[in-house]
Chains A and B, each alone.
Chain A
Amino acid sequence: MFDDRYTLAYKLYPYERSADQDKDTPVRHPVVVMGGGPIGIATALDLGLQGIPVVVLDDHEGVGMGSRAICFAKRCLEIADRYGCGEPMLDKGVVWNVGKVFHKDDQVFEFNLLPEEGHKYPAFINLQQPYFESFQIERLRELQAQGAPIEIRGKNRIDNVTVKEDHVVLEVSTPDGPYTMEADWLVGCDGASSPLREMLGYDFTGKVFQDSFLIADIKMKGDVDFPTERWFWFEPSHGEGASMLLHRQPDDVWRVDFQIGWDVDRKEEMKEENIRRRLDAFLKGVEYDMVWSSIYTFQCKRMDSFLQGRVFFAGDAAHQVSPFGARGANSGMQDVDNLGWKLGMVIEGKAPESLLDTYNTERVHGADENILNSTRSTDFITPKSAMSTLLRDSVLALSEHYEFARPMVNSGRLSVPCTYDGSALNSADALDGPARTRPGSPCPDVPLGDGYLLSKLGNEFILLTIDTDAPDEIEESGITVRRLALSTHDDPSLLLKERYLGDCPAGVYLIRPDQHVAARRPNFDENQIRAAIRRATGKE
């Protein structure tokens, strides 16, 4: 009655009977998270760090086998860093900068990403998803040991949810039989096929792409010296499909991704001999072991609203994108980053419930940006008309000769965090500073003598002052805002000035707990800053 739907890589939270199961009346929890994937665990870390009690229920007992996500972008890693698990990810991950683009087996050009200097985290790393999740759980265990109110219950499957006016009632199955529990708030992080969405009858609309991908993770044998680069083929002969991607992961594992079309015989394609036939065609004599393989299809869809009464949706449950540009887990992490502090403040009575509506508006904006970008990549890789194909092939032909055409080649755009332009939480921009740090922007990192700016921002509201004065602490309607005083005299790289001041002599930034800019000004003006704090917490 309780079989696993997938094989585990690591059994990290085996089933244990919880006290809730022996109570006559259902126990009420402030927050229950449905699903212990990367997004559910991140939710638990965010709330747990704030001291908000949170229970994660997952229908398995650990991290699933199979790599799935391999590309984790800078902002995602910065969020993980805020939760205290970014460094092991960076240590284990593979960093790459060089990419090659091929058309019909011939190389058309090579590029170097030339990453911007002065960030703790690179533009992205390659890391198998099970590692990403294991580092999260390790951190969760560490926080538990320090007394953070986080609980995770393996083999607890939510089978039914009833939404009431001010709470939800959950029917949970376990190997010991069912029990009922209640939650003031439920966060649905139960993945792309979200049973929660089904139970509550919400639509998931968008495009289904008629294509499938065959993924093979392989480990090369012997001393093969394959470079740490991203190779992308348009219409490769050896893949017999629209595209193919080769990418390195840690442990000398390589991800090969064949786009094989819609009308395929899955069973036939999944046979090892058939996968090897495709691989051998371009690996020519190299020996390798198969680590994992899978066939998947994808869609670009989202829910109309990520907040439905007492229920939030985050991660793949709320939105799904094509794999081009690695936006799945990366955008889910940004959902949590956005939701965590808002929910925490509402639960602690520091902000009105209306603040939660901005989770929906801000993250729907993010999801739409991701869907747009990944749809465009998909259309470039798999053109939908003869003219579209002709234009695409012309871009590829020109890119071999001229630099101008290279940025037009779209094999997936790097996932970058979205700027919440026009958010109700922003105050009008009062500083004539750089566009990249306007209100709504995620703070770009900057090296400071003994570390990095983002690590100093932490998890709370911060008043960042650069070369100007302000009180060390401001208390406004229950919110304490700490000052972080910096000076361009301690900015040897000049990047603080470049990223936060531009030509302005000084600046004051109000920064949200998710490290997005809420307001900025040339100087400290008490009334204006107090108003900005109220606005950023949904009180104006």
Chain B
Amino acid sequence: MSDLILTPNIDGVDDFYAELIATHEGLSDADSQALNARLVLVMANHIGDRATLSQALAAAALKSEE
């Protein structure tokens, strides 16, 4: 299957970032953490591919090759 994309891939990245911050606005720290956790799971399901998910986990841990 395809490799994890680590080059820019979001059109209108500033809009996305602003929306992400706005989604957290007004939440307590605990609610914010929970939101992030749900977001990870939703995105993981969307990606689906097991190998890509493993690469993503390694990338987030800053362990993968550059």
Q: Let me know if A413 and B14 touch, CB within 8 A.
A: yes
Q: Let me know if B29 and A403 touch, CB within 8 A.
A: no
Q: Let me know if B24 and A403 touch, CB within 8 A.
A: no
What is the CA–CA distance of A401 and B7 in the complex, to the nearest angstrom?
A: 11
Known: A376-B14, A397-B62. A403 touches B6 (CB 8 A): yes
Q: Let me know if B24 and A387 touch, CB within 8 A.
A: yes
Query: Can you list, as one digit per residue, whether each of A152-166 has a CB less than 8 Å from chain B (1) or not (0)?
Result: 000000000000000
Q: Let me know if B18 and A376 touch, CB within 8 A.
A: yes
Work out how many contacts link A and B, with CB atoms closer than 8 A. Answer: 47
Q: State which of B9, B24, B62 has its C-beta within 8 Å of the C-beta of A385.
A: B24
Query: Can you list, as one digit per residue, whether each of B3-27 has a CB less than 8 Å from chain A (1) or not (0)?
Result: 0011111000110011011001101
Q: State which of A386, A387, A404 has its C-beta within 8 Å of the C-beta of B9.
A: A404
Q: State which of B5, B14, B25, B27 has its C-beta within 8 Å of the C-beta of A373.
A: B14
Within the complex, the shortest CB–CB distance from A288 to chain B, in Å, comes to 35
What is the CA–CA distance of A290 and B28 in the complex, to the nearest angstrom?
A: 46
Q: Let me know if A404 and B27 touch, CB within 8 A.
A: no
Within the complex, the shortest CB–CB distance from B17 to chain A, in Å, comes to 6
Chain B: CB-nearest residue to A400:
B62
Contacts of B17 in A (CB 8 A): 376, 380, 408, 410
Known: A376-B14, A407-B13, A410-B14. A387 touches B66 (CB 8 A): no
Give chain A's interface residue range (CB within 8 Å of chain B): 20 to 34
Contacts of A373 in B (CB 8 A): 14
Q: Does A402 contact B (CB under 8 A)?
A: yes
Within the complex, the shortest CB–CB distance from A208 to chain B, in Å, comes to 19
Q: Does B59 contact A (CB under 8 A)?
A: yes
What is the CA–CA distance of A514 and B20 in the complex, to the nearest angstrom?
A: 37
Known: A387-B32, A397-B62, A407-B13. A402 touches B20 (CB 8 A): no
Q: Let me know if B13 and A408 touch, CB within 8 A.
A: yes
Q: Let me know if B13 and A379 touch, CB within 8 A.
A: no
Q: State which of A379, A386, A404 has its C-beta within 8 Å of the C-beta of B5.
A: A404
Within the complex, the shortest CB–CB distance from B58 to chain A, in Å, comes to 11
Q: Let me know if B14 and A404 touch, CB within 8 A.
A: no
What is the CA–CA distance of A407 and B15 in the complex, to the nearest angstrom?
A: 12
Contacts of A406 in B (CB 8 A): 8
Q: Let me know if B6 and A404 touch, CB within 8 A.
A: yes
Query: Can you list, as one digit per residue, whether each of B23-66 has a CB less than 8 Å from chain A (1) or not (0)?
Result: 01101010010001000000000000000000000010010001
Contacts of A387 in B (CB 8 A): 21, 24, 27, 29, 32, 36
Q: State which of A376, A379, A407, A413 has its C-beta within 8 Å of the C-beta of B8.
A: A407
Known: A397-B62, A403-B6, A404-B7. A386 touches B29 (CB 8 A): yes
Within the complex, the shortest CB–CB distance from B3 to chain A, in Å, comes to 13
What is the CA–CA distance of A404 and B55 in the complex, to the nearest angstrom?
A: 15
**Chain A contacts to B: CB under 8 angstroms:** 373, 376, 379-380, 385-388, 391, 397-398, 401-404, 406-408, 410, 413
**Chain B contacts to A: CB under 8 angstroms:** 5-9, 13-14, 17-18, 20-21, 24-25, 27, 29, 32, 36, 59, 62, 66
Known: A373-B14, A386-B32, A404-B5. 20 other contacts (CB 8 A): A376-B14, A376-B17, A379-B18, A379-B21, A385-B24, A385-B32, A387-B27, A387-B29, A387-B32, A387-B36, A388-B24, A391-B24, A401-B59, A401-B62, A401-B66, A402-B66, A403-B6, A403-B7, A406-B8, A407-B13
